Structure 1
Amino acid sequence: MLRRLSADDARFKEIAFRGGLNLLLADKTDTSASTDSRNSAGKSSMVELVHFLLGARGDSRNPFTKRALKQITFGLDLDWPGTPEVLEVRRSGARPAFVTLWPDVTSPDPDSLFDLRSQGPVEVPIEQWNHLIEHRLFGLRGDHPGVSGRTLLSYLARRVSAHGFNEAGRTFARQSAADATTNLAYLLGLDWQLADGYRQLAARDATRKQLRKAVNDPVWGQIVGSTADLRGQITLAEAQLRRLQAQVNAFQVVPEYEHLKDQADELSRRIKQLSQDDTIEQSNLEELQQAVTETADVDTQYLQPVYQELGIVLGDQVRRRFQEVEAFHHSIVRNRRRFLDEEISDLTARLAERRSERARLGEQQAQLLRQLDEGGALEALTSLQQALAREQAALGALRHRYDAAQTLEASSRQITAKRIELQQAVETDIDERAQQTSEATLLFSRFAQALYGPREAFLAIHAGRESLTITPRIDSDDSRGIGNMVIFCFDLTLAVLAHRHGHGPDFLIHDSHLYDGVDDRQLKAALELAATVTAEENMQYIVTLNTDDLAKATNRGFNAAPYILDTVLTDTPAGGLFGFRY
């Protein structure tokens, strides 16, 4: 049970709670002006403060992290399972990520021979505090996806700020049906893990829809793609992979590949140089052969007949001189021809030698090229293997995308089939848990009839297509007041069953907004029922009320005196919960 709300600010209106029914009243003072309102007295803030001290998020939206309140350290004293003394919880908006606990109720080290928990106040992270609440107040063990201590607590202390009084099955406006009923199933003692299957299917379906949108997007569609496109891409990638694999399998590493390649290149250069030299010397040979053809002895036989015809008789000395010149000229011609013949012979020999060398070098080059053609260097093989690995990785990625596309295209059918299977399993579980469902229905019916007499009232529990549905029903005209009393009876049922079976704490908190529009008789009956049930079940019911609303119940004969708390809030600036307006 909750024992005390406090703060280190003297202006704060400390509240001491007790077992059973607790009435926290907001009064209107004699000096109040017509513009004053008890809406700012702090009734709803009391509920928010309990949530803050029991692990609510301390982000910028939380009122206790605002400038006016963040420097105040608030406290909650409550009974704690397994601890004889009262647990003191302290938290401030200045350090919202931590709470201070006294005594230390964190679990001892299981590997230690001694209990090393702190003997004084201990500061723990808010995540650990929430885990402790789930474990000790709600009995949650191990992993419990879909069930949250914060959500469970929101059914036992609904918040106006979260629109928690809009409908019985939800504690905030956008809470999904699957999330809500999973937590309700836990409080009612049903198979919450089976109920959580709906939430998981809803998450899968939401993912499928997002992926389907992405596939239709021209950019994001390339990430997944369609099975038809991917099937064609895989076929081409497999063919390319086979070609590369065949090249790798047939590849032979040639020893000293680079040296052989250099030798082949050198032979090629040598052969090219020989060919160039042949061209030059072949041209020279042709010129020499032409020169040999043009070299001949000079004919002098015509000189003597010419001189005779002219009547000139050459003397012996002249004739002898001509003979000497002629002999000298013949000598020159012979020498030139012999020189040309020797040059031609040398050129011819060199040409023949180069032809022979070219033939020999050509054979060597062919042999080297055959060796190089049969294989390659180790680096070439490595590059080929790397290319093969890249193609294998690309093919693997395509196959993964293909699997994802197949899964996406088949997921709709799979989800539908799974939903039908889950619906049948949940329906079977409900039948097998007739004792739990009967207990919940009879308890709710008892509470509703205490307010409205012998009307038909029950909990409709069945396996729906989208979620397990748990709907409280009271035969009525659907007025707002009756709708609020449906929530009252439903919450009281949840609190009692959770407490009986170790699935929840022993308190229930309601804000005065729950009683807006409620008939006087039902208000009196609800308060009397809460007092009776909490006494029977050894529980605690805390409710905030305006004094004039309570007067409606007391005028109907309700004795409120034993249940009114000592702290009374007012509509004056200093009379609210925090002692000032902010």
Structure 2
Amino acid sequence: MMLRRLSADDPRFRTVDFRPGLNLLVAEAHAGAARTDSRNGTGKSSLVELLHFILGARGGKGTLSARPGLRNILFTLTMEWPGQDEPVRVSRRGAPPGIVLTDLPGAAEEGGLFEFRLTHEMPLPEWTTRIEADLFRLPADHPGVSGRALLSLLVRRVGSHAFNDPVRTYPQQSAAEAAANLAYLLGLDWRLASGYRDIAAREATRRQLRSAMNDPTWNQVVGTTADLRGKIIVAEGDVDRLRRQIAAFHVVPAYEELQRRADELDQRVRSLPERDVIDRRNLADLRRAVEEANDPDTAYVDAVYRELGVTLPNRVHRTFEDVRGFHASIVRNRRRYLAEEITETEARLAERERERALLGEQLTVALTELREGGALDGLTVLQQLLAQKQAALEALRKQHETAQFMEASQREITAKRVELQGALELDLEERGEQTREATWLFSRFARRLYGQDREAYLTIRAGTSSLEITAHVDSRDSVGINKMVIFCLDLTAAVLAHRHGRGPDFLVHDSHLFDGVDDRQVTEALTLASEVAEEEGLQYVVTFNSDKLERARLGGFDPSPYVIEPRLEDTYEEGGLFGFHF
């Protein structure tokens, strides 16, 4: 699983050929350069960035491969691959960055009778999955550990400030995530180590909610568990009631017509009493008129005249009789008319009574049908109302969960942390062989650099917020001690991952790792790297400035067997890795 070649389809790019063991990519200092002169434009760090890019790093705006002069260049990495007899080729360009070209067979193509090594496109997520499965042998489910994070330990980038901390590969990386990835390479229980990530996420959520609780509107937005339980009970009752209504609901055909008919019947029923009042008033008047319609009385006329001494002749008497008969006829006719009016009025009242009974029966039937069913849009309204009530109920339940979380989360988090810490401590005791192997390797490498009398060891313990992996080296006035701690820890992780099949066969360092390091430690580091690479069958690629490498040569390290082509120059445009300035 070593690197073989880095090339490009641009003829100006200077192809880099790698070999087993120590590989020194040297940037030459031009004649007359001072010790403080920089060779930052030659492409040493760009080599590391290109390796990361081809091995699945993010592309797009702000990255090296997305720069205008480079985005259309196809960069190719040739490397050994598990299960393949011949090296595979992996290519990628900055535009578009989401596709990888490779002749690595797909999972469905491997193991067949005939295997054809044809270049094909592979989506970037599939490529990173292959890296995780093949290079690092990660299981399908590996929370907290990723192939990209593991590669960042084995191929540290100065652009992401990976040389600031031995365990973290970028400043924003959480301690729990960094420790889990390093634990995987060292052979520790990375699943337990990654469990701290879940606790950290819960604590972050709790801190945010706790901060929100200081807002006076907290109780209005969330409330207490007791209040919310009561609201939930009421909301559940509303939802159940609506569900029962919908279950019993049946759609009435022509519902709107039936509703109009019921309205008409109701109006007619309401109008009958008004007409009855008028007829009853008229009936009373008619009956009173009948009582007042009497025959005229003329007897008083004779009495008056007799008292006056006047005797009316027979002729006058006949005239009064005629008048009395005429008036009697009028009275009889009026009584007959009034009787007929009374009869008709009473008939109308009786008819309306029958109509009222009939209309009441019809209205009762219509209202019953309306009450027991409804139109389709009525059912839709009920269903929409049910959905709203259910959403409100779910919101209440979420608020209740939030309130419960806030009221009990700290106890649960503390208990979970104690439980995880205990499980990890027990696991570290059971994995004593792995911790001893890692500690011994690190101590051996650090003492090689600083002398056998220096204290150098690893502390691996279950902390309260993460698995704590701490490298200790007695500094005693040493310059650049932190950089060499990173060197020793990386070399330890690479050796153990290679020995136990948990990682590839290469380790890559940028020359920035050796900035500020004493010449003696640089000499010892290069000598140690060459020996370990040969002993373990590893490939160690490191970029170096020629003046610093010359001081290592003067200190006793012969770099000539390990220098690879090309030798980068900063004296002209073609001397850098890309062959041109951009």
TM norm. shorter chain > 0.5: yes
Whether 2:340 is the aligned partner of 1:346: answer: yes
Checking the alignment, whether the CA contact within 8 Å between 1:182 and 1:193 is kept in structure 2 is yes
- Partner amino acid, structure 2, of 1:63: L
Instruction: Work out the number of aligned pairs and report it.
Output: 571
Q: 1:542 to 1:227 in 2, by over 3 A?
A: same
Q: Distance in 2 between matches of 1:92 and 1:251?
A: 64
Question: What amino acid sits opposite 1:11 in the alignment?
Answer: R
Superposed, 1:80-479 pairs within 5 Å as 80-102=81-103, 104-108=104-108, 114=112, 119-213=117-211, 224-237=222-235, 266-287=268-289, 289-290=291-292, 292=293, 297=298, 300-301=301-302, 320=315, 322-350=316-344, 352-353=346-347, 377-379=371-373, 394-395=392-393, 397-454=395-452, 455-477=454-476
Instruction: Indicate how the Cα distance of structure 1 residues 232 and 541 shifts in structure 2: closer, same or farther if over 3 A, else same.
Output: same
* Equivalent position amino acid for 2:172 in 1: R
For residue 344 of structure 1, report the CA deviation from its aligned partner: 3.4
Cα deviation for residue 141 of structure 1 reads 2.2
Query: Per-residue deviation at 1:38?
Result: 0.5
Q: Cα distance 1:7–1:266, how it changes in 2: closer, same or farther (>3 A)?
A: same
Give the match for residue 2 of structure 1: 3
Indicate the percent of aligned positions where both proteins have the same amino acid. Answer: 46
Aligned with 2:565: secondary structure? strand
* Secondary structure at the counterpart of residue 71 of structure 2: coil
Q: CA RMSD in A?
A: 3.8
What do residues 384-425 of structure 1 show as CA deviations (whole Å, max 9, x unaligned)?
986788757755653454244323422221111111100000
Aligned to 2:485: 486
Q: Distance in 2 between matches of 1:136 and 1:243?
A: 58
Q: Distance in 2 between matches of 1:264 and 1:526?
A: 104
Measure, in 2, the Cα distance between the counterparts of 1:478 and 1:323.
Answer: 166
- Counterpart of 1:486, as a letter, is V
Is the partner of 1:39 in helix, strand or coil? coil
Give the direction of change, closer, same or farther, for the CA distance of 1:213–1:350 in structure 2 (3 Å limit): farther
Give the 3 Å change call, closer, same or farther, for CA 247–140 of structure 1 in structure 2: closer
Is this contact kept in 2: 1:27–1:570, CA < 8 A?
yes
Q: Confirm or deny: 8 A CA contact 1:70 1:92 kept in the other structure.
A: yes
Aligned partner of residue 543 in structure 1, secondary structure? strand
Structure 1 unmatched ranges of 5 or more: none
Q: Contact 2:250/2:373 (CA < 8 Å) preserved in 1?
A: no
Residues 346 and 214 of structure 1: is their aligned pair in 2 closer, same or farther, counting only changes over 3 Å?
farther
Q: Is the 8 A contact 1:32 1:571 kept in 2?
A: no
SS at match of 1:568: coil
Deviation of 1:332 (Å): 2.1
Cα–Cα, structure 1 residues 241 and 565, in superposed 2: closer, same or farther, change >3 Å?
Answer: closer
Letter aligned with residue 53 of structure 2: F
Q: 159-168 vs 238-247, which deviates more?
A: 238-247
How far apart, in 1, do the equivalents of 2:407 and 2:386 lie?
31
What amino acid maps onto 1:38 in structure 2?
Answer: R
Alignment partners' CA distance in 1, 2:494 and 2:37: 35
Between 235-244 and 491-500, report the one with greater CA deviation. Answer: 235-244
Aligned partners of 1:288 and 1:343 also within 8 Å: no
Distance change in 2, residues 1:271/1:171 (3 Å): same
What whole-Å deviation, never above 9, does each CA across 1:161-201 have from its counterpart, x for those lacking one?
10000010110111000110110111001111111111122
Deviates more, 1:436-445 or 1:322-331: 322-331
Residue 119 of structure 1: how far off its partner (Å)? 3.6
Conserved in 2, the CA contact under 8 Å of 1:14 and 1:567? yes
Deviation at 1:145, TM superposition (A): 1.2
Which whole-Å CA distance do the structure 2 matches of 1:260 and 1:9 have between them?
88
Q: What is the CA distance between 1:358 and its match in structure 2?
A: 6.2
Instruction: Specify the code of the residue in structure 2 equivalent to 1:94.
Output: A
Per-residue displacement from partner, 1:241-284 (whole Å, max 9, x unpaired)? Answer: 78889999999999x99788876664444344333322334334
Distance 1:117 1:85 in 2: 12
Q: Are 2:578 and 1:578 aligned?
A: yes
Q: What is the TM-score normalised by the length of structure 1?
A: 0.87
Q: Tell me if the contact between 1:25 and 1:545 (Cα under 8 Å) persists in the aligned partners.
A: yes
2:79 aligned partner, one-letter code: L
- The answer to whether the 8 Å contact 1:158/1:511 transfers is yes
Output one character per residue of 1:82-124: Cα deviation in whole Å (capped at 9) or x when no partner. 112121121111221111113x3321258xx946865421121
Q: Which deviates more, 399-408 or 456-465?
A: 399-408
Whole-Å separation in 1 of the counterparts to 2:528 and 2:263:
102
Q: CA deviation at 1:156?
A: 0.6
Quote how far apart the aligned CAs of 1:303 are: 8.3
Change (3 A) 1:166 1:244: closer
Secondary structure of 2:87's counterpart equals strand
Alignment CA distance shift 1:95-1:33 (3 Å): farther
State the alpha-carbon separation in 2 of the partners of residues 211 and 379 from structure 1.
48
User: Which amino acid in 2 is paired with 1:330?
Assistant: R
- Partner of 1:301: helix, strand, or coil? helix
The answer (yes or no) to whether the contact 2:272–2:356 under 8 Å persists in 1 is: no
